[in-house]
Structure 1
Amino acid sequence: MASSSGTSSGSSLLQNSGSEEDLQLLMDQRKRKRMISNRESARRSRMRKQKHLDDLVSQVSKLRKENQEILTSVNITTQQCLSVEAENSVLKAQMNELSNRLESLNEIVGAMNSNNGVFGASTTFVEPNNAFFFNSLNNMSYMNQPIMASADILQY
């Protein structure tokens, strides 16, 4: 019986060693599968990371271009604003000049009306250099009417 138990235990050892080898092979296969899977996952992760980086670079380029367009637009608008302000200053000066002229003309008409249309009666009002101008104005009948205008109209 001793020999039969030795044989059975020997075959059991053979089965165990075969089983261990199979188990080791199975573990090696799983390990290789896991390594391959991990490599593939790392490759996909690197690809996603590279795609994200490319997208960010593209976005930076797009935003820089947009920023440059906005800056150009702001510069053009600023130049236009300065031009309009300069033109506005000129127009205001012209309006003031025209308002002063209108006021002077109204004073002349008022003086003419106060003299009852006779320029020669007031020697302090008419200077020798301006006599021709006032005599010409005296002959114009419509000049005896006051000039009606205001500075608001000149703004347009």
Structure 2
Amino acid sequence: MASSSSTYRSSSSSDGGNPPGSAVAVDDRKRKRMLSNRESARRSRMRKQKHVDDLTAQINQLSNDNRQILTSLTVTTQLYTKIQAENSILTAQMTELSTRLESLNEIVDLVTATNGGVDQIDGCGFDDRTVGINCDGYYDDMMSGVNPWGGSVYSNQPIMANDMMNMY
């Protein structure tokens, strides 16, 4: 039997000299398992920390992008408001100029219709004696040849509206 026990010992010497069911072998496997679990837990914590760091970096990047978009939106809104105000002013000016043009066309039609059967003086198409302007567009005093107001004055100058009036 002694030989069988030495054979048994030689085969179990690769396990550290402990028989397969002994308490030392169980403790050794338990210790290896604990080390393996600790290493696995450490790797898991490292992965979790890396994931948290990545999410934090993504939050910072998205916050910066959001800030830039809001700034761009604010600038665009201000430009839109400015252009809209300019458009309103131009629309009001266009309406005023259209009204003036319509009035002038009515005056031209009236003068043309009135002078249709009357002899025209100086070939201007108007009876210049009533207006006080000769064909060259300069004031012509019919009585004395002198301008009583001193200088070249048009007797029917248009009245220009102030730009401030367009705002109200």
Common fold: TM-score over 0.5: yes
Q: Sequence identity, in percent?
A: 10
| TM-score (normalizing by structure 1) | 0.64
CA distance in 2, matches of 1:143, 1:12: 134
Residue pairs, 1:2-151, within 5 angstroms: 13=19, 16-112=22-118, 117=119, 138-143=120-125
Bigger mean CA deviation after superposition, 70-79 or 12-21: 12-21
CA distance in 1, matches of 2:125, 2:44: 103
Question: Residues 115 and 125 of structure 2 are in contact (CA less than 8 Å); yes or no, is this contact kept in structure 1?
Answer: yes
Deviation at 1:62, TM superposition (A): 1.2
Deviation at 1:15, TM superposition (A): 7.5
| TM-score (normalizing by structure 2) | 0.60
Deviation at 1:14, TM superposition (A): 8.6
Deviation at 1:44, TM superposition (A): 0.5
Match of 2:13 in 1: none
Q: Could you list the runs of 5+ residues in structure 1 that have no partner in the other structure?
A: 118-137, 145-156
With over 3 angstroms needed to count, the CA separation of the structure-2 counterparts of 1:15 and 1:139, relative to structure 1, is closer
Number of residues paired by the alignment? 116
Question: Residues 18 and 24 of structure 2 are in contact (CA less than 8 Å); yes or no, is this contact kept in structure 1?
Answer: no
Deviation at 1:143, TM superposition (A): 2.4
Which has a greater percent of helix?
1
CA distance in 1, matches of 2:54, 2:70: 24
With over 3 angstroms needed to count, the CA separation of the structure-2 counterparts of 1:80 and 1:37, relative to structure 1, is same
CA distance in 1, matches of 2:62, 2:97: 51
| CA deviation map 1:81-133 (0-9, x unaligned) | 10110110111111011111111110122031xxxx3xxxxxxxxxxxxxxxx
The residue type paired with residue 25 of structure 2 is S
